[in-house]
Amino acid sequence: MVPLSWYIMLSAVVFSIGVIGFLTRRNLIIVFISVELMLNAANISLVAFSHYLQSIKGQIMVFFIITVAAAEAAIGLAILIAFYRNNPTIKVDEINLLKG
């Protein structure tokens, strides 16, 4: 069996890629995908823990995360489209109406 720490390392790596992507990328769609990556990193570690602890709760949590991530994606895209209609840019640097 693959040891637990491998899965945890994988999830830590995926999570870090997500965080770095969120902080450095300038295209909103990529930023959005980075957030999804972070959620899936949490899913990986939850499923791994759930398997190794022989406890079902982690997998229940994953179901909820998947569902909520889908709802989040729908709402995020809707907000993005509403924004794009009034202001055709998806570059992070050009979203600067509100500041101070």
Binding residues for another protein (CB under 8 A): 2-3, 5-6, 8-9, 11, 15, 18, 22, 28, 31-32, 35, 38-39, 41-42, 45-46, 48-49, 53, 55-58, 60-61, 63-68, 70-83, 86-87, 95, 97-100
| Least CB distance to another protein at residue 93 (A) | 13
d(CA 85, CA 87): 6
| Least CB distance to another protein at residue 44 (A) | 9
| Least CB distance to another protein at residue 24 (A) | 13
* 3-class secondary structure, 29: helix
| Least CB distance to another protein at residue 14 (A) | 10
Closest CA to 40 of 17, 74, 6, 71: 17
d(CA 88, CA 94): 10
**Does the CA dihedral 29-32-37-43 come out positive or negative?**
negative
